[in-house]
Amino acid sequence: MAAHSRKPLTPGRRRGSHRAGSPHPRRGSRLPTSPWRLTIVLMVIIAVGVGLSYRLAFWSIVDRASLVSAAAAERSGSGFVLPSRGLILDDRGNPLAVNDQVYSVYGSPIQVARPEPEARMLAPLLKQPASSIAKLLESSAVYPRLSPAVPQSTADIIQRLADGGALPGISLQPIANRVYPEASLASQVLGFVNSNGGQYGVEQYYNGLLSGQDSLSSFLANRGESHDVVRADGNLQDQGSQNGATLHLSLDTYMQNIVEDDLKKAVVASGGSSGTAIITVPHTGRIIAMASYPSFDPNQPNASPVANWTNPAVSDTYEPGSTFKIFTMAAGLSDHVITPYTTIFDPGYAVYPSITVHNWDYPTPNGQENMIQVLQHSANVGAAFVANRLGVSRFYPFIRRFGVGSLTGVDLAGESPGFLPLPGTRVWSQSNLYTNAYGQAETLTPLQLITGVNAVANGGLLMRPEMVSRIDYRGKVVYRRPAVIRRVISRATAHTLTSMLVKSAINGEASCALVSGYQVAAKTGTANIAGPNGAYLSGPGSTIASTVAYAPAFHPRFSVLVIVRKPMTWPWGSLIAAPVVHYLFEALFLHYHIQPTLAAPPPVQCPLKLAS
């Protein structure tokens, strides 16, 4: 059967439909095909093909030089301004991350008449063999890169030679280069920048603002910050694509230097594997210093192991040990199951249906002791006693209010939430009630711990920790107010617990953290490290030694946490971490002109000495 003729479909008409009474299309009809029509179509196709071939030949052969020259002019540094990544400054405006212009060097083989002489001229400038450069200039590549980056001084020399006719066909491409003037200082706080943008730390967390890509208003909204909790110069309506934001950190680089130096000395002196130290302001959550050892130089991150790039203060979790007893005591005081002078008899162990709890110095008995002495002796038996009185239904909700098992919301990349086993889950058993009370079988980050302790220091408020206190962006200046997450305990409970920590530190486990003339609230911790099979390790290098404190105790300006992992000399936080806390408080009191208020007692003799 002959094919039907086809007509374009129009709205309201379907193929094969026709009006009633209208004749059907004739079957067997076909459009005539003429030889002259085919000839015209072929001639048009050939003409188009010849035209395209001519233009391709013209561009690649005849006009190649002018195109390359145009590309070279576009690549040259003259009049070429790159969008600038935002600066990162410390609390006094000192630069921590800035930009330095560098240049890639390119050649155009078609414009280079004498490759070898030009290569010999470029070799000392590019610090490459002349033969390698000449090979690129003689290649068939349209625009080979001769060097990925040269500094401004070298670029100036090359540009002058090119402008003077000594280096025809050589041009420069400006590239933004991130520079960290203080080298490794605060490197894990800052992070670094590579071809993918900001990596780790502040550089990654604020990458959108630093690079000028993100909206300030949307960033603040994602952080839960609205216009009524920030003060801005002008409105927050973004205007066009401009340079990135300038970030002002709360970091005090003077104290950051001291913290990094003392922490390194402590790790080395104790034979430890690593360490972390944090200084914060309890009433605001601002971070004054945050350091870990070992670290890296962000100017050349690949020179250090990748493991050093992360920030253990926010990314690494650990069992806190006896520093966690601060939270247990806070819960007991708040629910009135204990007072500071509630007494127990402590033979060095306590038997419960699911577990027998031992003190760290078992079998030495503590005898009759009150709750202040429980903290002074760092007795696991006393902490388990408080948890048992609270019971599961009251202990865990209270501990979670301190932020245990949750992100703090700090403005740093890579934060971990830690882990708290909860009743009703497969990882929890009744024995967890007692071990959790003295800091075993749950994990926190160092920042989580000091953030929770700050809620006791400042009168009961859990504050969100902050690294960036001010943002300058596209003509707007945003001053960020301290953010209260929630009230955890009453002001009265916080005052009572502070008094207990002050009294328990005198002649107690935390005595090496004290500073003559000042009241210091402090608590030590010594946590065993779990092995691959879940059992705790023993022997040298099997603990994490820590001490947390705040001072002046009843009007605290600063809180300090020091952690040393796997010390080989002594395992205890009282002997390894507490002396570092002492040295840091001395430096803080001197730097911030905080005067002593007490008569100076005899100095405490501690075995760990930090060499000057």
Say what the pLDDT of residue 228 is: 53
Q: Is the pLDDT of residue 34 over 80?
A: no
Per the structure block, which two tokens stand in for 448? Answer: 């989580």
Per DSSP, the residues of 383-414 read: HHHHHHHH-HHHHHHHHHHTTTTS----SSTT
- Which H or E run includes 546? strand 543-551
Side chain identity at residue 278, one-letter code: I
Mean pLDDT of the chain: 87
pLDDT tens-digit map of 210-252: 999 888 888 888 888 865 556 666 555 554 446 899 999 999 9
Is residue 6 over pLDDT 70? no
Confidence at residue 14, expressed as pLDDT on a 0 to 100 scale: 39
Domain positions in the chain are 97-179, 187-251, 255-298+310-591
Q: What is the average pLDDT across 321-347?
A: 98
Average pLDDT over residues 62-66: 42
Tell me how far the alpha carbon of residue 185 is from its chain's centroid. 14
Give the pLDDT band of residue 82 (cuts 50, 70, 90): low
User: No. of H helices and E strands in the chain?
Assistant: 20, 21
What is the C-alpha separation between 201 and 447, in angstroms, rounded? 14
CATH of 255-298+310-591, one of 3.40.710.10, 3.40.630.10, 3.30.360.10, 1.10.3720.10: 3.40.710.10
Distance (Å, whole) CA 319 – CA 77: 55
**CA 377 to mean position of chain CA atoms:** 36
Higher pLDDT, 227 or 270: 270
Q: What is the pLDDT of residue 243?
A: 85
Residues 566, 584: Cα–Cα separation, whole Å: 21
**What confidence score (pLDDT) does residue 225 get?**
81
Q: Say which residue the tokens 């033979």 belong to.
A: 347
212: left (phi over 0), alpha (psi -120 to 50) or beta: left
CA distance 86 to 211: 7
CA 166 from chain center: how many Å? 48
Note whether 439 and 525 are within 8 A (CB). Answer: yes
| Class of domain 97-179 (CATH, top level) | alpha beta
d(CA 585, CA 597): 15
Q: pLDDT above 70 covers what percent of the chain? A: 83
The answer to whether the beta carbons of residues 263 and 562 sit under 8 Å apart is yes
Q: Check residue 35 and give its pLDDT.
A: 62
Q: Which of 78, 141, 80 is nearest to 106 (CA)?
A: 141
More confident residue, 121 or 70: 121
Q: Which residues of 551-572 are buried (b: 16+ CB within 10 A; e: fewer)?
A: bbbeebbbbbbbbbbbbebbbb
State the pLDDT at residue 4: 42
Residues 6+ apart with CB under 8 A from 448: 403, 404, 408, 418
Structural contact between residues 190 and 298, judged by C-beta atoms closer than 8 angstroms: yes
Cα distances (Å, whole numbers) of residue 146 to 133, 138, 422: 7, 12, 61
Name the pLDDT band for 554 (thresholds 50, 70, 90).
very high
Residue among 249, 277, 579 at smallest CA distance from 450: 277
- 90 — pLDDT class (breaks 50, 70, 90): very high
Cα-based distances in Å from 295 to 178, 185, 290, 309, 343: 18, 9, 12, 7, 46
**Residue 433 tokens, joined:** 């009630």
| Region of poorest pLDDT, from 214-223, 252-261, 337-346, 492-501 | 214-223
> What's the mean pLDDT in 106-116?
92
> How far out from the chain centre does Cα 336 lie?
39
Scan for tokens 């002489």, then name that residue: 117
Q: Is the confidence at residue 49, as pLDDT, over 80?
A: no
Apex 283 CA angle, 278 and 289, nearest 5: 20
Of residues 606 and 406, more confidence is placed in: 406
Per-residue pLDDT, averaged over 567-575, amounts to 95
Q: How far is residue 604 CA from its own chain's centroid?
A: 37
583: enclosing H helix or E strand:
helix 578-591
User: Contact, 541 vs 273, CB < 8 A?
Assistant: yes
Q: Residue 30 pLDDT > 60, yes or no?
A: no
Residue 48 confidence (pLDDT): 57
Whether 371 has a pLDDT exceeding 50, the answer reads yes
60: helix, strand or coil: helix
Which helix (H) or strand (E) segment holds residue 64: the answer is helix 64-75
Tell which wins on pLDDT, 268 or 239: 268
**C-alpha to C-alpha distance for 473 and 242, rounded to whole angstroms:** 9
Distance of CA 18 to the CA centre of its chain: 73
Reduced to 3 states, what is the DSSP secondary structure of residue 314?
Answer: helix
pLDDT band at 608 (very low <50, low <70, confident <90, very high): confident
Contact 129, 123 (CB under 8 A): yes
Look at residue 588 in the predicted model and tell me its pLDDT: 98
- DSSP 8-state code for residue 229: G
CA distances from 394 to 57, 190, 355, 399, 432 (A): 83, 40, 20, 9, 14
Task: Judge whether residue 5 has pLDDT over 60.
Answer: no
Rounded CA separation 482/230 (Å): 10
Mean pLDDT of 460-473: 96
Mean pLDDT, to the nearest integer, of 468-472?
A: 95
400 contacts 392 by C-beta, under 8 angstroms? no
- Which is more confidently placed, 555 or 603? 555
The structure tokens 């530190």 sit at 505
CA dist., res. 124 & res. 114, Å (int): 17
pLDDT at 242: 65
Question: What pLDDT is stored for residue 9 in this prediction?
Answer: 33
pLDDT in tens, 395-451: 999 999 999 999 999 999 999 999 999 999 999 999 999 999 999 999 999 999 999
- Report the residue count for the chain: 612
Helix spans in 84-215 (H): 115-126, 130-137, 152-163, 187-190, 201-205, 207-210
Q: Are strands 246-249 and 88-89 parallel, antiparallel or unpaired?
A: parallel
> What angle do the packed helices 380-390 and 325-334 form, to 10 degrees?
40
Neighbours of 93 (CB within 10 A): 9
The distance between the two most distant Cα atoms of the chain, rounded to a whole number of Å, is 120
